[in-house]
Amino acid sequence: MASVLSNISNIIIPVIIFYIIAYGVINKTNVYEDFVKGAKDGLKTVVGIMPTLVALMTAVGVLRASGFLDFLENLVRPLSGKVGFPAELVPLAFIKMFSSSAATGLVLDIFKNYGTDSLVGLITSIMMSCTETIFYTMSVYFLAAKVTKTKYTLTGALLSTIAGIVASVVLAGMMK
């Protein structure tokens, strides 16, 4: 079964690309021109969101280097212990809302210190897959789409992140 899935995953992208090209040719569109136009539009979007990306990455770097994440972990430790959430994961939960790549760096540190099969490691793995980079996503995609009213999006995203964190604790607890 694993080899079948592996083979499917190896061919799915080329199949999709050939399907798009064939669809364009059948409908008599200039596929290459449309591709180039889309690439130009994509490049304009990247240039437009670059300052936001640089600001987010700089802010995450400052938070890690300043010791703020350690301070946050120690501040929340008494409360997190009462609800069954390891305080060691507080920095990860916080940073994940801003940058997935910075969160991945924290994940590697957690795995090195606690192991991948520990309760903390399991919660980390599940939490990384069921939470989103809220502020990155909102700033990049909303900036690109020129969306300005984000009140309900932010509330919904924060609630879903909390639900993902709770689910990761419950699921990892069931596995141990």
| Within-domain flag for 98 | yes
- Residue 164, pLDDT score: 93
| Within-domain flag for 67 | yes
Cβ atoms 106, 123 nearer than 8 A: no
- Kindly report which listed range (5-9, 90-94, 96-100) carries the lowest average pLDDT score: 5-9
- What does pLDDT average to over the chain? 87
Boundaries of domain holding 56: 45-175
3-class SS shares of the chain: helix, strand, coil, % to 5: 85, 0, 15
| Within-domain flag for 22 | no
- How many CB atoms are located within 10 Å of the residue 30 CB? 11
- Residue 102, pLDDT score: 81
| Within-domain flag for 19 | no
Q: Is the pLDDT confidence value at 1 over 80? A: no
| Within-domain flag for 11 | no
Question: pTM here?
Answer: 0.69
Q: What tens digit of pLDDT does each residue of 38-75 get? A: 999 988 888 887 887 788 778 878 888 898 988 988 89
Hey, is 131 helix, strand or coil? coil
| Within-domain flag for 4 | no
Q: What tens digit of pLDDT does each residue of 7-41 get? A: 887 889 899 999 999 999 999 899 899 999 999 99
| Within-domain flag for 97 | yes
Cβ atoms 132, 160 nearer than 8 A: yes
Percent of the chain with pLDDT over 70: 98
Domain tally for the chain? 1
